[in-house]
Structure 1
Amino acid sequence: MTRVTSVLNKERGYFIVEAVVGISIVVVAFLGIVGLLTQSLSLNRLVSDQHVGNGLAMEGIELVKNLIDRNCILNSDPLGNDPGEWNHIIEYVPPQGTYADGDFEVDYNDDWLVPTQNRFLRFNEATRAYGYDAGDNTKFKRVIKMDIVPPESSGAAADDELRIKSIVTWQSKGQSFSLELEDHFFNWWPSCPIQ
């Protein structure tokens, strides 16, 4: 009998060891999955913010393009300045007398670029659009940098090329992020006189 009891006790010992090893493997696998999901959700927020930032930067370039096209089509300046200036897309003439070279902001319903006020863009749930007038503040800021490219560096005629940079910045999880897109616009419409 003692031999049978001895064999049963040894088998019980193996079962406990096997159970502990099996449970350990399951716990380690579960913790790995939880860690992977946590990191994935964190990266999902980062990718989402970059996607929105990229869209806002592209929208900034597109809005400037629309203002330039509008000026050429209208062939006049609503403020009563010299008519037909294709590159006159800002709200005022700076003291230095140029229509470019500065930091601006633009909204989808604006007729002009306005000097930047370092404001956060707002998201309007009703229109599903970003702007400065209505909606909830977001983490995004957009600045439009504009300057006239000198003819000697571009090969274009004087005042015939604008360099536009759309810069979107935001903060997420204690880090600052910035996205910059650049485009160049030319006086593409020959009948649109230049200053």
Structure 2
Amino acid sequence: MKRMKSVPKSYITKVRNFPDDSGLAYEKYGKSNNIRNYTDLEILEMINGIYRDSKTLLADGNYFLELSAVVASKCILEKVTYLKKPTEEDYRTNNHNHISNIRTFYISDYFLITNSTVNRNTQHRITDYLYRIGFLNKGRKDFAGLYSISNCYKTIHNGKYPKDLFHPIKRYVNGLFFKDDYRISDFTVESNLIIHS
């Protein structure tokens, strides 16, 4: 994993010494029933809801989702900021929404999608998970309640969606759990914005 928010070493030690109080589901979804068989990194991952051995993730509704059941993913894009301030002509022609002019994307949610119902849902929110591990940043001021992603690639992937928006699914679901960046490749972006190349 590229990055993950850390916790104090004392907290990991506390989990290791008092596993029954930790709330971790390592006995059910982990590699061992003995907490002492886990590295600090593995405990940190479980604190963040990641159980790689069973390919299970703690979804935002506080329930476990087996990722082998996931068939698609999506995000909801609400707003963007621009490198060059749009003109009235840009608003008429949508020129301002050229991928090379986008500075930052602001999304409200990410979801993993299953064909069958899990915890009474087929769409499973993972926005808090992506924030917990340090991928998403909270928006401020006009963007309060949203999460920001920088437009680093400035590319429309397969002519469908901005490449940066797929990145958290690519790295923190596909890569992390399956070691295959495109294991879950059916990805959609729901938005009123039309971003073009």
**TM superposition score normalised by structure 2:** 0.27
Q: Please identify which structure carries the higher strand content.
A: 2
**Structure that is richer in helix per residue:** 1
Name the larger-Rg structure.
Answer: 1
Larger RCO: 1 or 2 (CA < 8 Å, sep 6+):
2
